Structure 1
Amino acid sequence: MRIAVIGAAGRMGKNLIQATVESEGVSLGAAILKPGSSLIGADAGEIAGVGKLGVAAVGSIEECVDDFDVLIDFTSPALSIANAAVCAEHAKAVVVGTTGLNDAEKAQLQTFAEKTAIVFAPNMSVGVNLTLKLLAMAAEILGDDYDVEIVEAHHRHKVDSPSGTALRMGEVVAEALGRDLKECAVYGREGQIGPRTQKEIGFETIRAGDVVGDHSVWFATEGERIEITHKASSRMTFAKGAVRAASWLADKQTGLFDMQDVLNLK
């Protein structure tokens, strides 16, 4: 599998290139930068600090569409949709790790998946996806007697809130409890709001420093509290998961999948 990495000069892009180099069965086919970047033409391996790879960085996906089999995209919602459209047109697989997509954009991915294979997940970490499985099990067993609160922390530069991972955790718990997250979610609390309702799912957000990503889900009732927590200390965990997803797509022609499919957790 030849992998293309978009945003190759960014923090995540560099990790994706390194993870590709360190993984078996895949190679770096293309590296894409912002149009007009001063690094266009530079060796992608040298940009990522992993040594010369013989892959020159380009300024658009259209310039390298024949050089890869699967695109890994951790950019922005609008750009990810545009890139997925190009990939669908050329029957190239896609791994989308971008967060903050709205319902309409998610529906567009579903449409593109009729023409190509896509893995879309708000968090590519193997550990986080195992955590999602544990959350579903916990919610099913504990039921409505336990209050649910989700606390997440990320670095100061993160632009969406709550994180896509926190929202996915909320969706998993709500589904296990037979609730609609759009109806029961409470995002932050301030002032004289009264006691919490029994079925609400609360979200608390922290943005500070260089926190890579911490997520903790509380199940609390009178007399006890259970916390299921995942902490990421390096973006490499997301990069390795994304490359694993790209490899998994090797024999897939069409369809929209997530990391639960990749890890056989369903």
Structure 2
Amino acid sequence: MKIGLIGFGKAGRAAAAVILQNKSASLEWVLRRSTVLENRSAAEFLGIESSDPSLIYSLAHTPVAALLDEHPVDFIVDFSSETGIEAYGEEAAKRGVKIVSAASHYPESTVEYLQELSKRTVVFWSANITLGVNFIMYAAKFLKKIAPWADIKISEEHFKEKKGISGTAKIIATVLDINEQDINTTRVGGIVGRHEIVFGFPYQTVRLVHDSISREAFGNGALFAATNLTDKTTGFYRFEDILRPYFVM
């Protein structure tokens, strides 16, 4: 599975490290807006021994069309920004290159654009691309369906400098139809991220907890999505779509 990576910030670098160490995937190239690190090897920069090409290109000097023609890939994994899709979406769709986006937010107009692209290729988008968070959300939906009368509370903990309620907690609240005002928020120390969903039943309590240990979890989630979409040719997918088959007993 040949992968091109868009974005090389903190999350993008963590994702690159995971891809470089995965034997079933090859990081063919990295594309970023900045010219910093241009023509360097991502593997060399990250200190990882790998035979993957992983050359870093800058959008300032390398058109997406030329990059895709000269260095074709099966998947584009996007860890850039909500506007990143504008730079490569059309060229990827033309060539049937599958897209896995980890952008944390898209306006409705961009979601509609993703859906249009998905008529010609596979498009996957998850605002939180970690497997664990999406698993507990999916499991929580089942538990609420079984016991709609249960008390439900959401708690989230993050590092001291993080502002506002986490986007993931808001998504969980939306999925479970809970008011954002009922989310308990803690900001202390250097916690990477913790989300907890508590179900209160008579005489018992169920807790679904996800702890983020490092950003490499984003890379694992992106690879999980790509692996489960290799046999698809078109369509717009969310994490729930690829988790659903695993819940069939």
Pairwise same-fold verdict (TM > 0.5):
yes
SS of equivalent residue, structure 2 residue 113: helix
Structure 1 counterpart of 2:154, from 150, 156, 162 = 150
Distance in 2 between residues matched to 1:141 and 1:86, nearest whole Å: 45
Structure 1 counterpart of 2:37, from 26, 36, 39 = 39
SS of equivalent residue, structure 1 residue 32: strand
**How big is each residue's C-alpha offset from its partner over 1:128-159, in whole Å with a ceiling of 9 and x where there is no partner?**
2221222012211221x333332223346767
* Matching of residues 181-260 of structure 1 within 5 Å: 185-188=178-181, 202-220=182-200, 225-260=205-240
* Matching of residues 1-266 of structure 1 within 5 Å: 1-8=1-8, 10-35=9-34, 37-51=35-49, 53-60=52-59, 62=64, 63-66=66-69, 67=71, 68-143=73-148, 145-155=149-159, 162-174=165-177, 185-188=178-181, 202-220=182-200, 225-263=205-243, 264-265=245-246
TM-score (norm 2): 0.82
Does structure 2 conserve the Cα–Cα contact (< 8 Å) formed by 1:152 and 1:205?
yes
Give the superposition deviation at 1:34.
Answer: 2.3
Residues 157 and 120 from structure 1, CA distance in 2 versus in 1: closer, same or farther, beyond 3 angstroms? farther
Distance in 1 between residues matched to 2:133 and 2:179, nearest whole Å: 22
Residues 74 and 164 from structure 1, CA distance in 2 versus in 1: closer, same or farther, beyond 3 angstroms? farther
Distance in 2 between residues matched to 1:234 and 1:108, nearest whole Å: 31
Give the superposition deviation at 1:248.
Answer: 2.5
Q: Percent identity?
A: 25
Distance in 1 between residues matched to 2:53 and 2:132, nearest whole Å: 33
Paired residue type of 1:3: I
Give the superposition deviation at 1:85.
Answer: 3.7
Does structure 2 conserve the Cα–Cα contact (< 8 Å) formed by 1:152 and 1:163?
yes
SS of equivalent residue, structure 1 residue 243: helix
Aligned CA-pair RMSD: 2.6
- 5+ long unaligned stretches in structure 1: 175-184, 189-201
**How big is each residue's C-alpha offset from its partner over 1:18-71, in whole Å with a ceiling of 9 and x where there is no partner?**
211222322111111223x22101112112221364332101261522322211
Give the superposition deviation at 1:244.
Answer: 2.1
Distance in 1 between residues matched to 2:84 and 2:208, nearest whole Å: 33
Give the superposition deviation at 1:93.
Answer: 0.7
SS of equivalent residue, structure 2 residue 57: coil
SS of equivalent residue, structure 2 residue 176: helix
Residues 54 and 39 from structure 1, CA distance in 2 versus in 1: closer, same or farther, beyond 3 angstroms? same
Give the superposition deviation at 1:72.
Answer: 0.8
TM-score (norm 1): 0.78
Does structure 1 conserve the Cα–Cα contact (< 8 Å) formed by 2:153 and 2:197?
yes
Give the superposition deviation at 1:225.
Answer: 4.6
SS of equivalent residue, structure 2 residue 173: helix
Residues 165 and 71 from structure 1, CA distance in 2 versus in 1: closer, same or farther, beyond 3 angstroms? same
Does structure 2 conserve the Cα–Cα contact (< 8 Å) formed by 1:15 and 1:48?
no
Distance in 2 between residues matched to 1:107 and 1:149, nearest whole Å: 32
Give the superposition deviation at 1:223.
Answer: 6.8
- Greater mean alpha carbon deviation, residues 71-80 or residues 147-156: 147-156
- 5+ long unaligned stretches in structure 2: none
